[in-house]
Structure formats: C-alpha cells, structure tokens
C-alpha cells in the first residue's frame, strides 16, 4: 500500500521537480516508510512507500526492469504474486526482489495490457515505457485503490488522492456543481469518472488507459461481471454453501499474505464475524506469519445500547479467543477530528458512519499495519434490507406470485419495523431535497429488477463510495485495508448464483448464512438487523453537535452559498431539533459540504500528522 503521483508533459517540457515534491509530500500519510522519484525526459514519477511485502531496499519504487526501459509506481497488493512469479520465472524472467511490484513489471513485459486479467488483488499503477514514451495506467476491478488525474497547462497529472493534484495551482480550482448537486440530493458519489472538483477525473474501476505524446486514449474496460437475474436453479443449498465457503476461505487465505502484522476489523455483523472465524481456522491449519498465533480484532462500541454491538463482538471473541481491541467514538472527539477527516476524504461524505471506521483505523495502527474488512458482501449477497422491496417488485413483474407472497410474509416478519420507518424517511428526504437550489439530476438507485440493482450497487451507486471511505480512513493512519469479499473469484461465483440464494423468505445473504453454519455463533449467523460500523448520527446531530451545526448554518459563508436556501435549511434543522420534522441525512450532507468548501476552496489549511 502506497501513494503514487506523476507528471507527463504533453507539451514535451521537463517535469516540474518542485510540483512533484509537493505532490509527494501531500501523500506522505500513505507511505511513511520511504519515498522515491524518477524523472527522465518529459515524465516524472513519485512514490511514497508503506512497506508490506518485501521490506528490503530491493522493493523500493519507482522500480525499473533489467534494462531500465520500464518504470513503475504502484499502490496496492497482487495477492497471487507468488504463483505469477513462479510462472514468469519459468518463462525466463529474472527477479531481484520478492515484491509483487516486480511481478507486475515482468507480467507487463510478458503479456502487455493483458496482464491485468491475471492479477488477483487491488491496484492502481502507472508504467512508463521510455522506449515508446508512453504511460500505461490501470486500476483494479472494483476501484479498491484510487487513481485520479487531470490535464492542466500542457501536462497529464495523476495521483492517489485529489489533494496531491491540488498542488498545481490550476487543478481543481472550483467545485463541479453537477457532481456536488447529485451528492447533496441523492447521497451518491464515486458513481462517475467525474469528481466534485471541476476538471479532476478518476480512472474508473476495471479500466486502463494510455498516455502518449499525442494525448490520452479513452479508458478501456478490461473486466466485467454479470449478475444472474434468474430466481432459482437446481443446485442444492448444501452444494452452494460448500462452494461458497471454499471460495471465500481461499480468498481470505491469500489476503493474509504479508511481511508485517495483520488484524481484522470486527463489527459483530455476519461479514466481519465470518472473516474473523475463517482467519482463526487458517491460523490453526496454516499459521500465516502476518497474523501470528492470536488474531487481533478492532471494534467500535457505544454506551448508547441502541447503536452498540458489543454483545455480538463479545460472542465472536469468546468463540475464537482473539485478542480484541475496542474504541468508542464520541461527538466531542468528532468535532476535534472533523477538519482532518474531511481533508483526508478529499470529498464530502454521506453520513457520520465513516467516523466510526476512522476511529477503528486509528485504534488498529497501534497494533498492526494491515487489516481485513468485510466491504462488498452486502452488494454481492443482497444484504441491505432496502433491496427486498426491489426484489418483491421484480417478482410481481415476472408473475412469480407464490414466491412474492412468501417474500412479503418473510420481509414483514423479519423487517417490519424497517419498512414502517422507510416511508417516513422517504418523505423527509423528498422534502429536504427542496432545500437545494443547485441542479439535481435524478438518480434511480433502486430502479429495475434486483439483479440490475445489485450490479449497479457493485459498480456505481454504493460500493465505490464505501471503498473510497475505506481507503482514505485506513491511509489516514498508514494502514493497509484489504477486502477478501472482493476477490474477483468470489465475486464471479456469487454473482452467478440465482437470486433466491441471496434473499429468501425475507432472509438476506442466505448462501453465506448457510455456508457458515457451525462456524459462526448462531446468534450472529441468524441476525436480521443491519448495522455495521455506525454512529448515533441522529442523536449527535440533535444534542452534542447542535451548537457546532447552528454555528455553521448561521455563518455568513453558509448564507452566501449558491447550493441551498440557507434560511430554509436553518428552519428545517430547527424543526428537527424541536421534534416537528424527522431527521434525514441531507442535513449532514449540507453541513459536510460547507466544511469541505471551506477546507479546499477557502482556508486550504493543511492538516498535520495523525492524531
């Protein structure tokens, strides 16, 4: 895990050394273990190192091949690098390190851009071919690792984080109003190659592009997945459970490859508890060196029992004997951290739930350098309760009357409270969208059948934003975060399953629940509520954060924004405080946007080292 950046001068000038140094400095938190720069001709590459695989000096970047014609800067992990190294060595390639970085270089030499289909992992990299004077840029299948770029003043600039590109005085100098409006109205982000900074783009997941003296080629998709739209198949539940467990176990196995300490984020939910249990089994059978004899876990707890999952954390800890660590976020500390949190995220974020994850990563850095987390399972396996309405609509539309009736009864039995509150939440959100004065193009997140929705959530409307939060929260504390549920083999297997292996009789993640019977405590395996790392956002916004929010909403800067009707926003917030209008996330999104605008377009005050 690292930070990368670079400049390719399309006007054939020499790169700006001071600019590259400033870009590198703004990524120091991503790689505190070292830095490197390579400049030749019209191209310059910089790298910040977080040493995870091969801690020796042989693995430093920018890295070159034997004849010095290819140079790479790379952020991520190729988990099957051991197998690829053996294959490439058999073809005559010689290696001087034990790093996965060198494997990428030789794979590119051997297979060209087709090397991407052979990688299992997460990556964002740029390879400079000095013979052709070309820059090959690629991003992993799901966008786990970030890659941002812009073309400004005759140069192509790229970086792991937007803040590094902002080192150029003409890059991202104003907001992209359309992207900001979409976020404010619908809460979606990272659903497009555009960002909330005008002119700054991101290379889309599963895409690669080439930069030449003639300019940029259009990014090309090199991988895709199809979500099976069929309701059921003849494959038995037992067979699916066995196959799913085997695939997930192997994904977890290779995600543990590391030369430094590895831990696990444990929320007490099904996904993280499953990873914790599987890792404990692997400790006994294979003794992965990075984990040690006793797995370390990191969890959030709350004194407010409505949001606390300590009971479930305690159960998995008791069942596995892990070395458990806990932290309790507080609204007082949140306001102390908010400036750095917004700065690290680069863009405003949809809810305060990411603060819980931020605190978990701060806790983890005291013990480990790598964590495994459960992102992706909900989008793959239909884990969000809101998907059930879409599933039911699809069943009715395809005349599966009996299945639809069963789903209605199951959903009401397991999630009746959710559906009861959802109506009020929809109405509150609709009303608060009227507070906005900026253009808000429609986003139909739940339109179409369940298969179409799960695909969209995986590649566009939900998972990319969660991976954005995950990456920035982890790297804020120089932690590498890995997500085994997004091993592409597991994704392809689960996506091919019929829909009734994901939702049945109102039960979500059915195939996973069947697979972990006897592995995870029944109280966790059979949980029907959905929490994860959350914060008591509504309570905090009504009580502890009230004076801070009122100060922001009452400021002249807030009143002068073109994105909202400031008086109407204040009226709406006061109605919530007085109990006349229910809470909805639009309130936080507006507050967060104001903080973001001040951070990146007005104060531009750099934030210091991790606290």
Residue of 50, 46, 76 whose CA lies nearest to 62:
46
Q: Taking residues 554-572, report their average pLDDT.
A: 97
Q: What span, in angstroms and rounded, lies between the C-alpha atoms of 99 and 51?
A: 10
3-state secondary structure of 134: strand
Q: What span, in angstroms and rounded, lies between the C-alpha atoms of 281 and 287?
A: 9
Q: pTM (2 decimals)? A: 0.95
**pLDDT-based confidence at 528, cuts 50/70/90?**
confident
Which pLDDT does position 606 carry in this prediction? 39
Reading the block at residue 50, the tokens are 């977080």
CA separation, residue 118 to residues 83, 85, 192, 237 (Å) = 10, 12, 26, 31
Q: What span, in angstroms and rounded, lies between the C-alpha atoms of 248 and 487?
A: 8
Catalytic residue among 2, 9, 265, 359: 2
Pick the CATH number of 251-380+464-496+515-536 from 3.30.565.10, 3.30.70.260, 3.40.50.620, 3.40.50.10860: 3.40.50.620
Of 94-103, 263-272, 401-410, the one with minimum mean pLDDT is 401-410
Query: 432-491 pLDDT, tens per residue?
Result: 999 999 888 788 888 889 999 999 999 999 999 999 999 999 999 999 999 999 999 999
pLDDT at 604 over 70: no
Return the CATH fold of 2-221: 3.60.20
Q: Taking residues 566-592, report their average pLDDT.
A: 96
- Is the backbone of residue 23 left (phi > 0), alpha (psi -120 to 50) or beta? alpha
Query: 10-45 pLDDT, tens per residue?
Result: 999 999 999 999 999 999 999 999 999 999 999 999
Residue of 257, 590, 305 whose CA lies nearest to 438:
590
Q: Taking residues 131-153, report their average pLDDT.
A: 98
Helix%, strand%, coil% for the chain, nearest 5: 45, 15, 40
Of 59-73, 396-410, 445-459, the one with minimum mean pLDDT is 396-410
Q: What span, in angstroms and rounded, lies between the C-alpha atoms of 402 and 406?
A: 6
Do the Cβ atoms of 364 and 306 come closer than 8 Å? no
Whether 2 sits among the annotated catalytic residues: the reply is yes
Q: What span, in angstroms and rounded, lies between the C-alpha atoms of 285 and 421?
A: 46
Which pLDDT does position 534 carry in this prediction? 62
State the average pLDDT for the chain: 94
Asked if the peptide bond before residue 5 counts as cis, ω within 30 degrees of 0, the response is no
| Strands of 451-511, DSSP E | 480-482, 503-504, 507-508
Q: What span, in angstroms and rounded, lies between the C-alpha atoms of 198 and 253?
A: 41
**Structural domain boundaries of the chain?**
2-221, 251-380+464-496+515-536
Percent of the chain clearing pLDDT 90 (strictly above): 84
Which pLDDT does position 532 carry in this prediction? 57
Residues forming beta bridges with residue 570, ordered by sequence position: none
Residue position matching structure tokens 């998995």: 316
Which pLDDT does position 605 carry in this prediction? 42
Q: Residues with Cβ < 8 Å from 323, sequence gap 6 or more?
A: 294, 295, 296, 297
Which pLDDT does position 610 carry in this prediction? 39
| Longest pairwise C-alpha distance within the chain | 73
pLDDT at 251 over 90: yes
């Amino acid at each position: 895990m690292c930070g990368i950046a670079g400049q390719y001068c399309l006007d054939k000038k020499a790169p700006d050394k001071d600019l590259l140094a400033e870009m590198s400095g703004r990524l120091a938190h991503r790689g505190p273990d070292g830095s490197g720069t390579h400049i030749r001709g019209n191209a310059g590459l910089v790298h910040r190192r977080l040493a995870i695989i091969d801690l020796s000096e042989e693995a430093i970047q920018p890295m070159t091949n034997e004849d010095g014609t290819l140079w790479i800067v790379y952020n991520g992990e190729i988990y099957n690098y051991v197998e690829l190294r053996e294959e490439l060595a058999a073809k005559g390639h010689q290696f001087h390190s034990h790093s996965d970085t060198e494997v990428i270089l030789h794979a590119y030499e051997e297979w060209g851009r087709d090397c991407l289909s052979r990688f299992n992992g997460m990556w964002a990299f740029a390879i400079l071919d000095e013979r052709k004077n070309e820059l090959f840029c690629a991003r992993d299948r799901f966008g786990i690792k970030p890659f941002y770029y812009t073309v400004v003043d005759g140069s192509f600039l790229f970086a792991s984080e937007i803040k590094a590109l902002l080192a150029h005085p003409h890059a991202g100098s104003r907001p992209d109003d359309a992207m900001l409006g979409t976020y404010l109205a619908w809460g979606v982000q990272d659903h497009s190659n555009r960002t909330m900074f005008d002119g700054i783009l991101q290379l889309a997941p599963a895409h690669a592009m080439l930069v030449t003296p003639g300019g940029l080629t259009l990014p090309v998709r090199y991988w895709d997945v199809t979500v099976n739209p069929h309701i059921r198949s003849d494959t038995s539940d037992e067979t699916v459970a066995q196959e799913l467990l085997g695939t997930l176990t192997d994904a977890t196995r290779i995600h543990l490859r590391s030369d430094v300490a590895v831990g696990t984020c444990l929320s007490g939910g099904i996904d993280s508890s499953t990873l914790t249990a599987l890792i404990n089994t692997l400790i006994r059978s294979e003794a992965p060196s990075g984990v040690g004899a006793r797995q370390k876990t990191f969890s959030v707890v709350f004194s407010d029992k409505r949001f606390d999952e300590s009971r479930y954390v305690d159960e998995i800890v008791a069942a596995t004997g892990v070395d458990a660590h806990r932290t309790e976020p507080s609204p007082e500390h949140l306001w102390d951290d908010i400036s750095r949190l917004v700065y690290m995220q680069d863009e405003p974020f949809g809810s305060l739930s990411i603060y819980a994850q931020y605190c978990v990563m701060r806790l983890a850095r005291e013990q480990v350098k790598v964590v495994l987390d459960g992102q992706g399972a909900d989008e793959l396996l239909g884990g969000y309760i809101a998907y059930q309405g879409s599933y039911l609509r699809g069943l009715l539309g395809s005349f599966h009357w009996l299945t639809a009736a069963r789903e209605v009864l199951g959903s009401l039995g397991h999630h009746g409270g959710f559906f009861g509150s959802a109506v009020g939440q929809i109405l509150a959100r609709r009303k608060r969208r009227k507070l906005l004065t900026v253009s808000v193009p429609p986003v139909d997140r739940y339109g179409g059948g369940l298969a179409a929705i799960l695909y969209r959530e995986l590649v566009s409307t939900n998972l990319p934003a969660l991976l954005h939060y995950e990456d920035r929260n982890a790297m804020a504390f120089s932690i590498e975060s890995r997500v085994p549920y997004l091993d592409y083999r597991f994704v392809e297997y689960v996506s091919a399953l019929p829909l009734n292996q994901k939702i049945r009789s109102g039960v979500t993640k059915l195939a996973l629940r069947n697979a972990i019977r006897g592995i995870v405590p029944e109280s966790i395996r059979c949980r029907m509520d959905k929490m994860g790392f959350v914060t008591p956002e509504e309570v905090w916004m009504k009580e502890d954060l009230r004076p801070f929010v009122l100060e922001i909403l009452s400021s002249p800067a807030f009143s002068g924004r073109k994105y909202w009707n400031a008086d109407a926003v204040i009226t709406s917030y006061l109605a919530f405080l007085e109990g006349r209008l229910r809470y909805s996330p639009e309130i936080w999104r507006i507050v967060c946007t104001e903080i973001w605008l001040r951070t990146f377009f007005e104060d531009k005050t750099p934030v210091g080292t991790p606290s």
